Amino acid sequence: METKNANTNGSSKQPKPRWYRATLGIAASAALIAGVAISGATFVSADQAVKNPLADLSPQQAAAIESAQSLSSAFRTVSSRVLPAVVAIENRPAVAAMTKQKVQPSSEPFGGQNPFKGTPFEDMFNDGTFNGRRFQMPPNMEPPSGSRPSAGIGSGVIIDPSGIILTNNHVVAGGGEVIVRTQDGREFVATDVWTDPKTDVAVVKIENATDLVAAVMGDSDQVEIGDWVLALGQPFGLESTVTAGIISAKHRGIGIADRENFLQTDAAINPGNSGGPLVNLRGEIVGINTAIHSRSGGNEGIGFAVPSNLANWVSDQLLNSGTVKRAYLGVGIQPVTQDIAKQLSVKPRGGVVVTDVFEGTPAEKAGLKSGDVIVRFNDQAVSSPQALQLIVERGAIGREQTIEVMRDGKSVMLKFVAEEQTSDFASADAKDSQREGKRLENLGLEIAPVDAEVAKQLGVEGNSGVVITMVADGSPADDAGLKPGMLITQVDRQSVESVADFEAAIKQNREQKKGGVLLLVRTEAGSKFVVIKS
């Protein structure tokens, strides 16, 4: 993904760094060489110190250093094995478009254009700003008049030595010429590019490339929070970069793709890392680096990667048929909040509640009913609408599967035969997906449409507004006193009747750079205005 170097060549002079050499006085040096004791201190000879720098440490201290050195050795081994499989990817605009357009120098940030247009970062950059902060293009990076614009720069990883490369959709989207540069400096024009925007996964194929090294796909389901991982790629165009960190969280949804189940990591990921691999200490790919959450535009310890199992499933289908075939249920669903859990006699987040069952769908054939709480699907526990959707879609089409639901406080087992999602239902599903809730990471809250039951509890007519289903600790929403179960009826004095209305109002607020969002919220105690600082 294209990015701009954050360093600038300013005119102000910076103080020169002072360098200090660790030396001993003449008398002390002589004593050290002689190996004599001064004031009770025992000195090790210079020859001994060179041969064993840990000689004067306790066994515990030496063991600790050796343990750290073993981890360093593991990082070094994994890096040397995986780096040859990491490639740089450039998406160049079509030749016809380049002959019609010339890039003129501009005093506006990024020439007045959004450099991340068509990528998941597009909405974060408006008129050269990122979350309200303005970024200037350094003078040494201003594009000369008539130069060729670049639509996207990112990373990828070879997963088959025949020339199959895994990357992000937003790295190669736009229909330009895709150039792949291997670690040894060779360049190839991609002969085929297959994409799946719903997961932000893409597959690139190059031909006539010999001696390619492929990385091994790992099992992301086996990854646990706290595991060491390495992120490899081309951040800011810097080739063959490796950073280390841990898995910070799993099953994240951040609102940049239709199908999300991200691994979160604190391994440094920056623009340009997109499409590169996230690997474990066995050198196996456990994720594809995709996005960052940042106020500055650079790494702040919160990066996201598509899990390898999801990326592998998508890539297999793209390679086999050029498209991704997904199964579907045909239901409307929403999270199980604490209030809903009490009413339905289930645990909070212990499944997802069915709000609608659409006629003629596999869900209706399976016997699902509105009010059922789906707790397990095909022996996999279900904790969120997002998790259920991913499990269902990856099910084998035509094969019978089991669904466990809680109905009237009792467990009921149902049989479900997966069917391929049609284009007509996919369009309807895209509209209905708002029922599953939407997470807005910048505000730190998740919202969902209001159903009849919630409206009745809050004493409001109809299903207008959106209900808060989750508030992140320490977030702007939390600081403002928002709680799950509250109903939002207005944003900046504008009425909202759906999740889409809420998102549009928040986007308008950001474009106007108000610095805060005025909400009218309603609880059982009545309505009040709340301001979220953004």
Q: Which residues are catalytic?
A: 170, 200, 274
Q: Both tokens of residue 68?
A: 């750290």
Closest Cα to residue 126, out of 139, 112, 137, 138?
Answer: 112
Which helix (H) or strand (E) segment holds residue 506: the answer is helix 499-511
91 is in an annotated binding site: no
Give dist(CA 169, CA 258) in Å, integer: 13
Contacts of 173 (CB under 8 A, 6+ apart): 91, 118, 119, 152, 195, 197, 202
**Any known ligand binding at 356?**
no
CB atoms within 10 A of CB 230: 23
Tell whether 200 is in a known binding site.
yes
Q: How far is CA 302 from the centre of its chain?
A: 9
Query: Cα–Cα distance between 267 and 279 in angstroms, integer?
Result: 11
- 451 CB contacts (<8 Å, ≥6 apart)? 334, 355, 463
Give the strand pairing for 216-217 and 284-292: parallel
Whether residue 251 is annotated as binding a ligand: the answer is no
C-alpha triplet 262, 321, 402: angle, nearest 5°: 60
226 is in an annotated binding site: no
Among 507, 494, 504, 499, smallest CA distance to 534 is for 507
Rounded distance between C-alpha atoms, residue 488 and residue 529, angstroms: 10
Whole-angstrom distance, CA of residue 170 vs CA of residue 234: 15
Length of the chain: 534
Q: Please check whether residue 438 is in contact with residue 506, taking contact to mean a CB–CB distance below 8 angstroms.
A: no
> In the 8-state DSSP scheme, what is residue 18?
P
Q: Encoding tokens for residue 42?
A: 């025992």
Q: How far apart are CA 126 and CA 140, in angstroms?
A: 23
Helix (H, G, I), strand (E, B) or coil at 311: helix
Known binding site for substrate: residues? 170, 200, 272-274
Known binding site: residues? 170, 200, 272-274
